[in-house]
Structure 1
Amino acid sequence: MPTADVIVLGLGAMGSAAAYHLARRGVRVAGIEQYTPAHDRGSSHGRSRIIREAYFEHPDYVPLIQRAYELWRGLEQETRERLLIMTGGLMIGPHEGVLVQGALASARTHRLPHELISAEEVQRRFPPFRLPPSTVAVQEPNAGVLFPEACVRAHLDGAAAAGAALHFEEAVRRWSASVDRVEVTTSRATYTAGRLVVTAGPWAPAVLRELGLPLQVERNVMYWFAPLRNGQAFAPDRFPIYICEYRKDAFFYGFPALPDGSVKVAHHHSGQWCTPDTIRREVGPDEVDRMRALLAGHLPDAGGELQQTATCMYTNTPDGHFLIDRHPQWGTVTIACGFSGHGFKFASVVGEVLADLALDGRTRHRIALFRLARFS
């Protein structure tokens, strides 16, 4: 007899959400994760993640993020735990830059509330900023902060409560599929099911090696600084999340202060290719100095004492859009990977999409942008 109806391989942001949605539909789920719940070895950690609606990457993301908001708020009500705070958001850069123009395109396409404001107005509303006079910003109210570890745990707890069998600290050795059956062998056991969902994050290039997917794993660093002065100005009720295009196609982003008072900032894409086995976890003083220099030019009050650093991995596609689809050879296998450093906020709705695809082979959500065929 099969171990489960569906096996979910990888229980980070996307896998935990897939297990949750599948189990709540009455499906027997076996979830497999090589590390502990809500671990810090992949892409689903870091104490905070941005969520935003005026999505500069493409207008097609907007209906998905709107559904994601609904699902995150439903999960909050179910768990009675805070998973999300709304702070508003700023997309800052040159008027003709990809960030500002992309945010405006999504806002106008979907008639989202927003304002286009000058650098002077940004500084009036949010005094910590110091921006070049030529800079503008798209300000939107529907943006904020997700707490990633709490989000992953909430999905895992909900999946388990609905009957999912979740197996941690089991490394996958191999998997195979046929027209009506899948088999996964781990370091501890062999599991069989009618369907497989692969949500392996930066391990996807290895797990899905036979597909030759054009994925590149990238090392990125997160930094937490104590404000140098005026710490109260970074409080979540006074300061937004933001992304800043500080030169053409180069970005950094940041958050309001966390409860401990620290302010998190990071580059969006570092260009340092790696694998999960070769990633350098240590953060060098030269990297800290580069981030301090960025802060000195844009948020000088943020660059106080360094409190913490951490690394994470992006799994990038060539076009920066996700990869969510059925396996081209095996209809019993659904894959989701290549979230390119901007996927976490969508985890709640991606879980719903993956449950649809695994059980029905289709979804009501518009995911044509994410099909595998674009890389054929």
Structure 2
Amino acid sequence: AGAFGGWTAWHLRRRGARVTLLDAWGPGNSRASSGGETRVIRGTYGPRRVYTVLAARSLALWREHERRWKRQLYCPIGVLWLVEEDDQYERAALPILKETRLAFEELDGAETARRYPQINCEQVRWAILERDAGYLTARLACEAVLAGFLEEGGEYRQLAVRPGDVVAGAMRGVTLSDGSVLRADAYVFAAGPWLGRLFPDVIGDLVRPTRQEVFFFGTPPGDTRFTEEAMPVWADHGARFMYGIPGNRWRGFKVADDTRGPPFDPTAGERQATAEGLRAARAYLGYRFPGLAGAPLLEARVCQYEQSPDEHFIIDRHPGA
């Protein structure tokens, strides 16, 4: 019942299919890649046009569903891309942003510093401000999609799944953690980091979960410079890919490193941040946001990415089907 599973179930149900949605721990749970308080939606993906197109479509659909469900899930506070040295990634994105009609501005270093004095822009040569971008309240969004699916007449069961054998092009049901067997005309496995475990012969290590640490720091009392009213989501695509979200619906000033971490077990892995990760986050925070140097840590989370060999999505039929 994450992003892929929940939305797939919702769309199939809207098309008239009878759908049962299964999840071992529930929508937006703490093990899920789609969980967490916030996730960034941005249009800048370097030269990879397909993801900018998908992001533009996603923004339109979130606006549509916010109206449908009468609740705000997406916060369009913008995304600011800071460029210090190599700018090939950002330069490649500009014509694609124009093509997809995602609103943005190019800012030189001086203008970036003028607009956002709370950011250390001494080495920033230029920046992209994506005005349509922002962040999604991820956990709440997963819950909203499930609620929408149930309103459409779908069935949800909170159980783990084991795929059945594939014989003569068909799967012989799936075994659930309560011992029952569910049989259907078709099966969709949107299991993210668990795909390799579910299909060791077909996927195996081709989908590799990595450990990612996220930190939330406290801002000074009454200091509004680091709220989402005063600044956008920021992305610093330099030697490492650092990013963060101000405010986070009052959870704290989010700082994370997008660089792929070590391999991680999404089921049994301990989700406690490392001292090394915290030191790196603090050092970066003090450099880029001097007013937050020495800020207290409010909380830390460990999530995971799941990585395919070419970093693209895997959407395919089982080879035995």
TM over 0.5: yes
Task: Tell me the equivalent position of 1:34.
Answer: 24
The structural deviation recorded for 1:327 is 2.5
Secondary structure of residue in 2 paired with 1:21 = helix
Corresponding residue to 1:210 among 192, 195, 201:
201
Secondary structure of residue in 2 paired with 1:199 = coil
The structural deviation recorded for 1:329 is 2.8
The structural deviation recorded for 1:115 is 2.5
Corresponding residue to 1:222 among 190, 202, 214:
214
1:158 aligns with 2:170: no
Q: Distance in 1 between matches of 2:222 and 2:272?
A: 30
Give CA deviations for 1:20-52 in whole Å, capped at 9, x if unaligned: 111122211011111133211121122111111
Q: Distance in 1 between matches of 2:313 and 2:16?
A: 28
Q: Distance in 2 between matches of 1:49 and 1:57?
A: 22
1:174 aligns with 2:163: yes
Secondary structure of residue in 1 paired with 2:246 = strand
The structural deviation recorded for 1:267 is 0.5
Task: Tell me the equivalent position of 2:246.
Answer: 256
Task: Tell me the equivalent position of 1:315.
Answer: 306
CA contact (8 A) 2:227 2:247 kept: yes
CA contact (8 A) 2:85 2:238 kept: no
Higher relative contact order (CA 8 A, sep 6+): 1
Corresponding residue to 1:144 among 134, 148, 159:
134
The structural deviation recorded for 1:313 is 0.8
Q: Distance in 2 between matches of 1:130 and 1:229?
A: 21
CA contact (8 A) 2:271 2:301 kept: yes
Task: Tell me the equivalent position of 1:327.
Answer: 318
Q: In structure 2, do the counterparts of structure 1 residues 47 and 283 end up closer, same or farther at CA, with 3 Å as the change threshold?
A: same
Q: Distance in 1 between matches of 2:209 and 2:251?
A: 31
Corresponding residue to 1:97 among 64, 83, 87:
87
Q: In structure 2, do the counterparts of structure 1 residues 103 and 299 end up closer, same or farther at CA, with 3 Å as the change threshold?
A: farther
Q: In structure 2, do the counterparts of structure 1 residues 24 and 71 end up closer, same or farther at CA, with 3 Å as the change threshold?
A: same
The structural deviation recorded for 1:135 is 3.3
Q: Distance in 1 between matches of 2:264 and 2:72?
A: 34
- Structure 2: stretches of 5+ with no match in the other structure: none
Secondary structure of residue in 2 paired with 1:325 = coil
Corresponding residue to 1:305 among 287, 296, 301:
296
Task: Tell me the equivalent position of 2:233.
Answer: 241
- Please give the root-mean-square deviation of Cα atoms over the aligned residues, in Å: 2.1
Q: Distance in 1 between matches of 2:222 and 2:27?
A: 37
Task: Look up the equivalent residue of 2:223 and give its one-letter code.
Answer: G
Task: Look up the equivalent residue of 2:66 and give its one-letter code.
Answer: E
Task: Look up the equivalent residue of 1:201 and give its one-letter code.
Answer: G
Task: Look up the equivalent residue of 2:104 and give its one-letter code.
Answer: H
Task: Tell me the equivalent position of 1:127.
Answer: 117
The structural deviation recorded for 1:70 is 1.9
1:192 aligns with 2:206: no
Give CA deviations for 1:198-241 in whole Å, capped at 9, x if unaligned: 10011111112221352211000111111247731222232111
Q: In structure 2, do the counterparts of structure 1 residues 125 and 234 end up closer, same or farther at CA, with 3 Å as the change threshold?
A: same
Task: Tell me the equivalent position of 1:274.
Answer: 264
Task: Tell me the equivalent position of 1:106.
Answer: 96
- Structure 1: stretches of 5+ with no match in the other structure: 1-10, 331-376
Q: Name the structure with the higher strand share.
A: 1
TM-score, normalised to structure 2's length? 0.91
Task: Look up the equivalent residue of 1:101 and give its one-letter code.
Answer: R
Q: Distance in 1 between matches of 2:262 and 2:125?
A: 28
Q: In structure 2, do the counterparts of structure 1 residues 161 and 127 end up closer, same or farther at CA, with 3 Å as the change threshold?
A: same
Secondary structure of residue in 2 paired with 1:272 = coil
Q: Distance in 2 between matches of 1:301 and 1:57?
A: 34
The structural deviation recorded for 1:182 is 4.8
Q: Distance in 2 between matches of 1:245 and 1:62?
A: 17
CA contact (8 A) 1:91 1:99 kept: no
Q: In structure 2, do the counterparts of structure 1 residues 223 and 56 end up closer, same or farther at CA, with 3 Å as the change threshold?
A: same
Corresponding residue to 1:116 among 106, 109, 114:
106
Q: Distance in 2 between matches of 1:71 and 1:111?
A: 15
Q: Distance in 1 between matches of 2:304 and 2:43?
A: 23
CA contact (8 A) 2:31 2:267 kept: no
Moved more, 32-41 or 230-239: 230-239
1:61 aligns with 2:38: no
Count of aligned pairs between the two proteins:
317
